[in-house]
Structure 1
Amino acid sequence: MKLSARNMLSGTVLSVTKGTTTAHVTVDVGGQTVTSAITNEAVEDLGLAAGQAVKVVIKSSDVMIGVD
């Protein structure tokens, strides 16, 4: 797979929780979790399921950090 995004992390799907139209996919990336909100249709098209090896691709124009 070739993409223009340079931030790709290898991980394993921990869970897929489907809602009405959107699913939350939680991925273990080296002991940290990343959660992505994608369409239910995308989950089906990709055949996502717990235990599956995936790539987390991060492409963002803004990354914010906050402190208390």
Structure 2
Amino acid sequence: MKISARNQIKGTIKSVTKGQTTSHIQLEVNGTIITASITNEAVDDLNLKPGQNAYAVIKASDVMIAVD
């Protein structure tokens, strides 16, 4: 599959927690956890399960960083 997003981070799914309409997916990347919110429908379509390798795909036109 080809996508235009350049920020792709490979990791392992640690957990899939379904809510009413949205699921939270925890992806472990080199000891760091990234959490994504996606629809329950997408979780079912992709058949996401803990232990699978997956990519976090980050696509944004702007990214802001703030410091104290």
> Shared fold (TM-score greater than 0.5)?
yes
Instruction: Tell me the number of residue pairs that the alignment of Structure 1 and Structure 2 aligns.
Output: 68
SS in 1 for 2:42: helix
Q: What does 1:1-68 correspond to in 2, within 5 Å?
A: 1-68=1-68
Gapped runs of 5+ residues in structure 2?
Answer: none
SS in 2 for 1:43: helix
SS in 2 for 1:60: coil
TM-score (norm 1): 0.92
TM-score (norm 2): 0.92
Gapped runs of 5+ residues in structure 1?
Answer: none
SS in 2 for 1:51: coil
Structure 1: 4+ residue segments shifted above 6 A: none
| Letter matched to residue 24 of structure 1 | H
